[in-house]
Structure 1
Amino acid sequence: MSDDVPVLRMESVRKTFGGSVVLRDVDLEVAPHTVTALIGASGSGKSTLLRCAGLLEDVDDGAIWLDGEEITDPRADRDAVRRRIGVVFQAYNLFPHMTVLENITLAPRRVHRVPRARAEQQARELLERLGLGARAGEYPDRLSGGQQQRAAIARALAVRPRLLLLDEITAALDPELVGEVLDVVRDLKGDGMTMLLATHEMGFAREVADQVCFLDSGAVLERGTAEQVFGDPRQDRTRRFLRRIVEAGRL
């Protein structure tokens, strides 16, 4: 796929729940091999945007493209689209009755029909890379929160996604475990993985993001480079949000 074509493009995307507008005419492009960070207060629509991008929620209006293919077209093969997108949530969502290795090999074997031996080899390579090589045979409840989240990232990477969606992946972690998970994202950026992430870790977003989008009441109120949005925001609402973040010592 040409690097001139956005991996993800959203145009005039609108989503409501029970009469409440959660996304308001969202336009967004994510270029190949870049990281886009979604920032904003809780309830601003970040998680819903990610879920719509991953076809985990239907949009009420607008359209979404993945590698130039309109995936919101009713004729699109939604299962095939989802196989090209990796998603990691706040909650690790690992199957508790399966070992770490079984969790990671499930989708490659069942969905992509990868032979067991090759799926396990690839999973072990991922686990080694993420510092979990010795934990392959463990069950999730034997892992720390940071280890579980790294295992969840390995599971998302096991399907070799075109796009990785990360939804507040450090929100459920104790502060001392946050760094080990963010280090994984830094490494993925170095590999050229295309990522769209929602985060409250403002310093991290400023460090790794090529593009930052500030959401407010379901709308993308401001977008730009990390340097521009954090260093010289154009919108008063963005400035007020970042001022509170600074006052709270989070930036």
Structure 2
Amino acid sequence: MSLLSVSGLRKSYGDRLVLDDVSLTVEPHDVICLIGSSGSGKSTLLRCLNLLEDIDDGVITFEGREISDPRVDPREVRSRMGMVFQAYNLFPHLSVLENCTLAPRRVHGVPRAEAEARALLLLERFGLSEHAAKHPDRLSGGQQQRVALVRAMCTSPTLLLLDEITAALDPELVGEVLEIVRAEAEAGMTMVLATHEMAFARDVATSVCFLDRGRILEQGPPAEIFSAPREERTRQFLRRVLPA
């Protein structure tokens, strides 16, 4: 059974069609990279998967259950998915440790000591343990984004959704964030991520989806998409974003 499947997904904002007949399958341990121009629908697709956006048509199934059914509680679904945004979205009034333990304690009912122990292990793993007592405004952008990743992983999600998590970072900070994502991918975490980092997608993804005007125009292994894309629109996009 696939971990996540999407069939015929459509999403509009008023008269503007943002996602058009999108279908996608995610197997355990897949790393699916969504690429495409800004406005192609990548972020909206992730938000639909996490039920942050209502869909107009189609079916989303997660862990064998149709989660696009309006009777499904989105909070219960999100408790098994982790999502990281490009704007970090850390709570400014909470320390790093408090940010990381809030969901395990409040949503999953994990005792404080257990939640803190797991959070501290993850913070140490990614070089952040010395910042556990600090508030987010005392950290660099790269450190804040790494904390956001740790926070998402503290709930032991089945699926991790990453939405352009390096887009707001200075170029020298991008690498430290992508190293965490790479490490999680190598450890077997299942991910769907929207990214402009083509080298990362080529090296780490199990499958790459090129989105154009709300449709998945082409999907396949990185070697195929980057070396021999079938669609002219894919070739045009890659010529613009890849170094000569």
- TM-score, length-scaled by structure 2: 0.98
- What is the aligned counterpart of 1:200 among 196, 210, 216? 196
Instruction: State the shift of 1:79 in Å.
Output: 1.8
Whether 2:190 is the aligned partner of 1:185: answer: no
In 2, Cα distance between equivalents of 1:40 and 1:75: 33
Q: Which residue of 1 aligns with 2:86?
A: 90
Whichever residue aligns with residue 17 of structure 2, its letter is: V
The number of aligned residues is: 244
In 2, Cα distance between equivalents of 1:79 and 1:172: 27
Whether 2:227 is the aligned partner of 1:228: answer: no
User: What pairs up with 1:207-222 in 2 under 5 angstroms?
Assistant: 207-222=203-218
**C-alpha distance after superposition, 1:26-72 (max 9, x if no partner):** 00011100100000000000000000011110110001011111001
Partner-residue secondary structure (3-state), 2:237: helix
Whichever residue aligns with residue 243 of structure 1, its letter is: R
Whether 2:131 is the aligned partner of 1:144: answer: no
Whether 2:234 is the aligned partner of 1:238: answer: yes
In 2, Cα distance between equivalents of 1:186 and 1:45: 24
Aligned CA-pair RMSD: 0.8
User: What pairs up with 1:1-251 in 2 under 5 angstroms?
Assistant: 5-246=1-242, 249=243
In 2, Cα distance between equivalents of 1:163 and 1:230: 25
Whichever residue aligns with residue 205 of structure 1, its letter is: A
**Which shifted more, 69-78 or 224-233?**
69-78
In 2, Cα distance between equivalents of 1:25 and 1:118: 43
Partner-residue secondary structure (3-state), 2:24: strand
In 2, Cα distance between equivalents of 1:77 and 1:219: 27
Partner-residue secondary structure (3-state), 1:137: coil
Instruction: State the shift of 1:202 in Å.
Output: 0.6
In 1, Cα distance between equivalents of 2:173 and 2:107: 32
Instruction: State the shift of 1:78 in Å.
Output: 2.2
In 1, Cα distance between equivalents of 2:89 and 2:72: 27
Instruction: State the shift of 1:130 in Å.
Output: 1.1
In 2, Cα distance between equivalents of 1:171 and 1:100: 22
Unpaired segments of 5 or more residues in structure 1? none
**C-alpha distance after superposition, 1:133-157 (max 9, x if no partner):** 1100000000011100000001100
In 1, Cα distance between equivalents of 2:83 and 2:107: 15
- TM-score, length-scaled by structure 1: 0.96
